[in-house]
Amino acid sequence: MPLFTQYISNPYLALPAAAGMRHETDIKLTTRLSGMGVQGAPTSVFLTANTCLVQKGGFKHGIGISLFNDKAGLLGRTNANAIYSFHLPLNPEKGVYWATGFNMGVQSYNFDEAGKVVTSPDDPVANTSFNATAIDGGVSSILYSPDFFIGLGSNLISSRQVKWFNSNKIDGVHQLMAGYRLAFADNKCGIVPSVLVRKVGTLLQYDASATFRVKDYFWTGITYRGKQGIAMMVGAGGKNFNLTYSYDYFKQSGFSGFHEITFGVRFSKKANRDVEPYRYKSKDALRVPTFW
């Protein structure tokens, strides 16, 4: 999976266990365009949808789907996953939960032979042909409240099944994400410092971000990626929709820039007095995570 910037706005990109975190149905479409105007530049599209089911005692279940398509030059990849997460209430009156999630589906890889250009008989591309399909899956876990989150996720299956051009296997992805919300202005505004550590094979990447939010109405932030570059983000939303744009600058990318856009719609669910009586007794329980 490519490195997305807006994981803070769409956490399912990194941690499927986040499905069902908020009491709502949430649908998000993320598009990432790398090096606009450059033929064959990487392009990624990611669609997620999830909803929350609540049981007595504060137990929550999240169910959802994720669809992903990525293309870079002649290489393409398509992924479809179903997601399930279980949210254990550690302190429901304070909104503290521990969620564990599983995703399972199919991932296909392909090489666009029709688009290849052979410059000489010795060109490695001349004899290149690659198409493969594998079962894909992973597990993730996240501890969260309205004021903090820390989660870990790993891809477990596809990296063991597929070899790229029958030589090097495709490495799995392991991600650690954490953040804390510093609230002010009577809890209407907040600054969320966060980190993302990502391991792909032997490659270790990290993001250090800071996001300023005014509830679910406006947010802006910056991400530092060490020697790789920086990214800037801005977004706005209403009761049932949100839109986020970010621009990435990578020092050694060779492209003009990376543009990422996420559009989301959400439909809140009313609390059931019989199932969630604590949500009528505690202001903290009525709060929802406002990191994304």
Q: CA angle at residue 225 from 223 to 226, to 5 degrees? A: 130
Coil, helix or strand at residue 282: coil
Number of other residues whose CB lies within 10 A of the CB of residue 277: 16
Give all domains of the chain, ordered by start, each with its CATH number.
6-286 (2.40.160.40)
pLDDT-derived band at 121 (thresholds 50, 70, 90) equals low
Burial of 267 (0-12, 13-18, 19+ CB in 10 A): exposed
Q: Specify the pTM.
A: 0.81
Q: Phi and psi at residue 18, in whole multiples of 5°?
A: -70, -10
Number of other residues whose CB lies within 10 A of the CB of residue 252: 7
pLDDT digits (tens, 9 = 90+) for 139-156: 999 999 888 999 999 886
pLDDT digits (tens, 9 = 90+) for 6-30: 887 788 878 889 999 888 899 999 9
Q: What is the DSSP letter of 187?
A: T
pLDDT digits (tens, 9 = 90+) for 144-190: 988 899 999 988 665 555 555 555 566 678 899 999 999 888 878 88
Nearest to 183 by CA among 209, 212, 210: 212
Strand partners, 86: 61, 100
As a whole number, the mean pLDDT across the chain is: 80
46: left (phi > 0), else alpha (psi -120 to 50), else beta? Answer: beta
